[in-house]
């Protein structure tokens, strides 16, 4: 029995069914793969094409625990799998791999139909509630409480971001050794002035660079009502989050003109303004309205001139991560001491784990889905070996 019909659980179900096992997949949502479908809204970045030597370190401190699973089902195998489902892929200039359809629904539809052909039973609207005193699985479904005792169980319950899609993290109370779930690839809170927020909420900051603790990331960010989110922020989110937890706040540095040298900017910005207002002066120097707004926010906050230096180094005080409900993914989960090298719970032989509910995090770029697919596959292989022994 597989509990959790996300990418990790469905990949496990496919692996188990291919080995000739009878598989039932349970989810408390009415339909499977809801978070996968939302990931499809951003184009469905399935994996990354960089060599494994560059790919594997993206998992940071837990690389060694994930590496065997990823080597056994690496990006090349995931790409072949997706293409086998009739989904041609392309690799973007950044090396990220997407289906040409740029969405998840055709892939999920083809996958579910293949699983049905393999005899996999999918059952929605049943929430796993833990174990009974005899070690059977307890569920609550439309007809009330249900119990069952499969030969082996795979839990792939996801993290806690976007809980309305099903992964609500309520399982954390049912398992031992859970490292608290925290937002990952998330936005952060910053107190904009009312005037800035009213004018620029929802607007993108394009071709910027963000810097924190000597790490510089180029890309985009988006101004939210309560702070900042978007790709460049997500890339720094783990160290920002951890430093905020330790210090109560951090200062992120924003370079509005990463392609220009301070000298080139100084020639345009630091001379006499004539009769021009500050905003007209900045506009004439080529700054977009949102960039001008940021310079003005910084000056009101007490930042020092010259303008050329400020434009390349706007300080943004971040006070907290944005709520986990809005994060792309989750850090924390079942600790590695709880599972063996086959992803089996040491304290509950016959129960295996896969996907985001394990204690790992990774940046965006396809690393999240790749690890979910690979661990789903590896845990299913663990079940196959367990049952045959
Ligand atoms: C907006 C967004 C965009 C994303 N884009 C990308 C991307 O482009 N590339 C990428 O690599 N990653 C992306 N991700 C992350 C990726 O979607 C997740 O990491 C991945 O879906 C996790 O897979 P999973 O199978 O571990 O869990 P999930 O997909 O979360 O599935 C878990 C399942 O378990 C079910 N469940 C939970 N608790 C119970 C219970 N008690 N009983 C029964 N069922 C339960 C849930 O309903 C859910 O169906 C994105 C995430 C978001 C939110």
Residue numbers of the domain that contains 281: 188-321
Q: For residue 189, what pLDDT band results from cuts at 50, 70 and 90? A: very high
Alpha carbons 364 and 4: distance in angstroms, whole number: 22
Quote the ligand 1 centre to 353 CA distance (angstroms). Answer: 14
Q: Mean pLDDT over residues 217-229, rounded?
A: 97
Query: Does 274 have pLDDT greater than 90?
Result: no
Residue 384 predicted with pLDDT over 90: yes
Do the beta carbons of residue 246 and residue 264 sit within 8 Å? no
Question: What pLDDT shows up at residue 36?
Answer: 98
**pLDDT attached to residue 305:** 83
Instruction: Please check whether residues 119 and 54 belong to one and the same domain.
Output: yes
The closest of 177, 219, 173, 221 to 318, measured between CA atoms, is 221
pLDDT at 378: 98
The answer to whether the CB of 19 falls within 8 A of the CB of 52 is no
Count Cα atoms within 13 angstroms, Cβ side, for 147.
Answer: 7
For ligand 1, atom 38, name the residue with the nearest CA: 157
User: 296-308 b/e with 16+ CB inside 10 Å = b?
Assistant: bbbeeeeeeeebb
Q: What is the rounded CA–CA span in Å between residue 187 and residue 225?
A: 11
Annotate 44-82 with b (16+ C-beta within 10 A) or e (fewer).
bbbbbbbeeeebbebbeeeeebbbebbeebbbebbbebb
Domain boundary among 291, 321, 351: 321
**CA within 13 Å, CB half, 274:** 7
Count of structural domains within the chain? 2
Residue minimizing CA distance to atom 52 of ligand 1? 328
Domain boundary, last residue among 286, 301, 321: 321
Q: What is the pLDDT of residues 77-98, one digit of tens each?
A: 999 999 999 999 999 999 999 9
Structure tokens at 234: 């997500």
Q: Is the CB of 97 under 6 A from ligand 1?
A: no
Q: Are residues 74 and 175 in the same domain?
A: yes
Asked if the peptide bond before residue 306 counts as cis, ω within 30 degrees of 0, the response is yes
Domain containing residue 40: CATH number: 3.50.50.60
Q: Which of 321, 345, 366 is the last residue of a domain?
A: 321
Looking at the structure, do residues 312 and 165 belong to the same domain, yes or no? Answer: no
**Where is average pLDDT lowest: 176-190, 234-248, 266-280, 308-322?**
266-280
316 and 215, same structural domain?
Answer: yes
Whether 267 and 369 share a structural domain = no
From the CA of 38, how far away is ligand 1's center (Å)? 9
CA distance linking residue 207 with residue 143, whole number of Å? 54
**Co-location of 46 and 67 in the same domain:** yes
3-state secondary structure 115-145: HHHCCCEEECCCEEEEECCCCCEEEEECCEE
Both 23 and 163 in one domain: the answer is yes
Which ligand 1 atom is the nearest neighbour of the CA of 157? 34
Q: Do 132 and 56 share a structural domain?
A: yes
> Closest ligand 1 atom to the C-alpha of 8?
25
Same structural domain for residues 352 and 317?
A: no
Q: How far apart are the first and last CA of the chain?
A: 18
Residue 218 and residue 259 share a domain: yes
Span from the CA of 298 to the centroid of ligand 1 (angstroms) = 38
- The rounded percent of the chain whose pLDDT value lies above 90 is 97
Same domain? For 169 and 60 the reply is: yes
Q: Are 179 and 192 part of one and the same domain?
A: no
- Pull the structure tokens for residue 102: 């740029």
């Amino acid at each position: 029995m597989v509990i959790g019909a996300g990418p990790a659980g469905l990949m496990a179900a496919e692996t188990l069914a291919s080995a000739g096992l009878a598989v039932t997949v349970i989810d408390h949502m009415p339909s499977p793969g809801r978070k996968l479908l939302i990931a499809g809204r951003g184009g469905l970045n399935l994996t990354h094409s960089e060599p494994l030597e560059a790919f594997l370190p993206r998992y940071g401190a837990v690389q060694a625990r994930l590496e065997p699973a990823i080597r056994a089902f690496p990006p090349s195998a995931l790409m072949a799998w997706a293409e086998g489902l009739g989904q041609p892929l392309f690799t973007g200039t950044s090396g990220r791999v997407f289906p040409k359809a740029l969405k998840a629904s055709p892939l999920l539809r083809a996958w579910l139909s293949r699983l049905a052909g393999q005899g996999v039973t999918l059952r929605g609207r049943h929430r796993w509630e833990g174990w009974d005193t005899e070690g059977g699985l307890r569920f609550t479904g439309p007809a009330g409480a249900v119990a069952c005792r499969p030969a082996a169980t795979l839990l792939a319950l996801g993290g806690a971001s976007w809980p309305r899609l099903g992964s609500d993290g309520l399982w954390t109370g049912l398992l031992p050794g859970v490292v608290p779930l925290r937002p990952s690839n998330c936005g952060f809170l910053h107190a904009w002035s009312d005037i800035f927020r009213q004018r620029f909420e929802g607007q993108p900051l394009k071709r910027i660079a963000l810097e924190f603790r000597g790490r510089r990331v180029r890309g985009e960010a988006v101004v939210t009502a309560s702070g900042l989110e978007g790709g460049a922020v997500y890339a720094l989110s783990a160290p920002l989050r951890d430093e905020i937890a330790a210090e109560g706040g951090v200062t992120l540095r924003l370079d509005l003109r990463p392609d220009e040298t301070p000298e080139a900017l100084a020639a345009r910005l630091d001379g006499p303004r004539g009769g021009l207002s500050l905003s007209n002066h900045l506009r004439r120097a080529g700054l977009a309205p949102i960039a001008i707004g940021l310079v003005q926010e910084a000056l009101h906050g007490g930042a020092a001139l010259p303008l050329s230096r400020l434009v390349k180094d706007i300080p943004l005080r971040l006070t907290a991560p944005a709520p986990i409900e809005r994060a792309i993914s989750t850090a924390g989960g079942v600790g590695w001491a709880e599972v063996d090298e086959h992803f089996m719970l040491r304290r509950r032989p016959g129960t295996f784990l896969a996907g985001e509910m394990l204690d790992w995090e990774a940046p965006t770029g396809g690393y999240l889905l790749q690890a979910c697919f690979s661990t789903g596959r590896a845990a299913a292989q663990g079940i196959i070996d367990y049952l045959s022994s």
